[in-house]
Amino acid sequence: MVRCFFIKGPGEHWAETVKEKPVKHFMMTTATALILGTTAYGEAHMAAFPEMTFDATQNLNASELIGKRVYVSEAEMDKDMTVSEGGEKEWDDIGEINEIVLNRNGEVASVIVGVGGLAGIGEKDVAIDMSQLQFVTEEGDDADDYFLVVNASVAAVGDAPAYESNARNMDENMDEEAAMKKDKDAQNDVAVNDEPRADIMAPTVERDGYQPVVSNDLTAEDLTGARVYGVNDEDVGEISELILTDDGKVEKAVIDVGGFLGIGEKPVAVEMGELTIIRNDAGDDLRVYIDSTEESLEGRAEYEG
């Protein structure tokens, strides 16, 4: 407070107490500004953590796209079109999504689809622009059941350029000494553990009534349990399981050789590139051939999965 003195007359004066209204007002204004400023500061920083409830009809986890099949259709598609149960059979299944590529803004730029090949062998990766990927919902009560369709032709997929990431081109940046060592190992076909491997070469097989298997007509289920023959049609074993890479591609086949009635068999792993696969015209007999005898297969290292 401030005390003010006023003179009434000679030798007389009186005092009056005056409240500091301007000072108090300033302090209240400053406090209000601090409160509002702190609130705005907090809200700005909390903007990165919004409340969100997952809605399967509107939202999608990126992890759900990995492994999802992709179809192509030459027919025009509406944005909100649906398909009846079994309607996807009218489209061509070209492969599955192996990877999702985002740009630096956090937006999905493309999906990488593995197309062609045989049970994952010999396929190539192609990039499909996310904006061209159509989500087609299946009619019914399950609103989150959908298919991924691209308006294109199978021929266009085959002509699409192969997707190559920097990681996959690391071999091109190897120094000369490392590259020479890699070439030497490949030529000598030497494994990492210095154990010799058989030459990776599929035999040429021609049988009346049999045709080479078309890649997209063969499944992993077809291969598991299939009999394996030598080039002279001698039975050398049976495929018991398939070995997959980290990205889900079939890398090797395990053949059970030797034994009697399943007893004493020896599992050996062979590269898929060593195998030739044919199927009869009726489609009920699948044969796998390898340029090796039962004895030579038994001489290979035992597979220990």
Mean pLDDT of each 10-residue bin along the chain, 305 residues long: 51 50 55 61 68 74 85 86 86 90 84 75 82 86 76 88 68 54 48 44 86 68 86 89 77 82 78 86 87 88 83
Q: What is the three-class DSSP state of 181? A: helix
| Selection from 83, 98, 187 nearest residue 136 by Cα | 83
CA separation for the pair 267, 264 (Å, rounded): 10
Buried b (16+ CB within 10 A) or exposed e, 87-106: ebeebbebbbbbbeeeeeee
pLDDT of residue 268: 92
Contact yes or no for 134/148 (Cβ under 8 A): yes
Tell me whether residue 257 is exposed, middle or buried, using C-beta atoms within 10 angstroms of its C-beta: 0 to 12, 13 to 18, 19 or more: buried
Tell me whether residue 297 is exposed, middle or buried, using C-beta atoms within 10 angstroms of its C-beta: 0 to 12, 13 to 18, 19 or more: buried
Q: Provide DSSP, 218-268.
A: --HHHHTT-EEE-TTS-EEEEEEEEEE-TTS-EEEEEEEES-BTTBS-EEE
Residue 237 C-alpha from the chain's centroid: 33
Contact yes or no for 272/278 (Cβ under 8 A): no
pLDDT of residue 72: 93
pLDDT of residue 28: 57
pTM exceeding the 0.85 threshold for the entire prediction: no
pLDDT of residue 141: 58
pLDDT of residue 196: 40
CA separation for the pair 167, 179 (Å, rounded): 16
pLDDT of residue 188: 46
pLDDT of residue 118: 54
Contact yes or no for 42/54 (Cβ under 8 A): no
Phi and psi (nearest 5°) for 134?
Answer: -95, 130
Q: What is the three-class DSSP state of 31? A: helix
Q: In sequence order, which residues have a C-beta less than 8 Å from that of residue 235 and are 6 or more positions away?
A: 227, 228, 229, 294
How many helices (H) and strands (E) would you count in the chain?
6, 16
CA separation for the pair 205, 232 (Å, rounded): 10
